[in-house]
A = this chain, B = another copy of it.
Amino acid sequence: MTSLANLESALGYRFNDQAFLDQALTHRSHNARHNERFEFLGDSVLNFVVAALLFDRFPKVDEGDLSRLRANLVKQSSLAEIAQSLHLSNFLRLGEGELKSGGFRRPSILADALEAIFGAVFLDGGFDAAQSVVSRLYAPLLAKVDPKTLGKDPKTLLQELLQGRKLDLPQYTVVATRGAAHSQMFDVECAVPKLDLKVSASGTSRRAAEQLAATEIIALIQAMGPAKGGSRRARKNTQLSLPVAVPQENK
Interface residues of A in 1-53 (CB under 8 A from B): 36-37, 39-41, 43-45, 47-48, 51-52
| A196 contacts the other chain (CB 8 A) | no
Distance of A48 from chain B, by nearest CB (Å): 4
Q: A41 and B52: CB pair below 8 A? A: yes
Binds B, one of A60-68, A150-158, A164-172, A201-209: A60-68
Distance of A109 from chain B, by nearest CB (Å): 15
How many copies of the polypeptide does the oligomer hold?
2
| A122 contacts the other chain (CB 8 A) | yes
Contacts A41-B52, A55-B41, A122-B52: A62 and B36 contacting too (C-beta < 8 A)? yes
Cβ-neighbour of A127 out of B51, B66, B67, B127 (below 8 A) = B127
CA distance A45 to B44 in the complex (A): 8
Distance of A106 from chain B, by nearest CB (Å): 18
Distance of A181 from chain B, by nearest CB (Å): 32
Task: Report B-chain residues with C-beta under 8 Å of the C-beta of A43.
Answer: 51
Task: Report B-chain residues with C-beta under 8 Å of the C-beta of A48.
Answer: 44-45, 47-48
Interface residues of A in 91-124 (CB under 8 A from B): 122
Contact with B along A111-142 (1 / 0, CB 8 A): 00000000000100001100100000000000
Contacts A45-B48, A48-B45: A67 and B40 contacting too (C-beta < 8 A)? yes
Q: How large is the interface on A (under 10, 10 to 19, 20 to 34, 35 or more residues)?
A: 20 to 34
Residue of B nearest to A66 (CB): B40
Cβ-neighbour of A37 out of B36, B40, B63, B128 (below 8 A) = B63
Residue of B nearest to A47 (CB): B44
The 27 listed contacts between A and B (C-beta, < 8 Å) are: A36-B62, A36-B63, A37-B55, A37-B62, A37-B66, A39-B63, A40-B51, A40-B55, A40-B63, A40-B67, A41-B51, A41-B52, A41-B55, A43-B51, A44-B44, A44-B47, A44-B48, A44-B51, A44-B52, A45-B51, A47-B47, A47-B48, A48-B48, A52-B122, A127-B127, A127-B128, A127-B131
Give me 17 other A-B pairs in contact (C-beta within 8 A), A43-B51, A127-B127 excluded.
Answer: A36-B62, A37-B55, A39-B63, A40-B51, A40-B55, A40-B63, A41-B52, A41-B55, A44-B44, A44-B47, A44-B48, A45-B48, A47-B47, A47-B48, A48-B48, A52-B122, A127-B131
Interface residues of A (CB under 8 A from B): 36-37, 39-41, 43-45, 47-48, 51-52, 55, 62-63, 66-67, 122, 127-128, 131
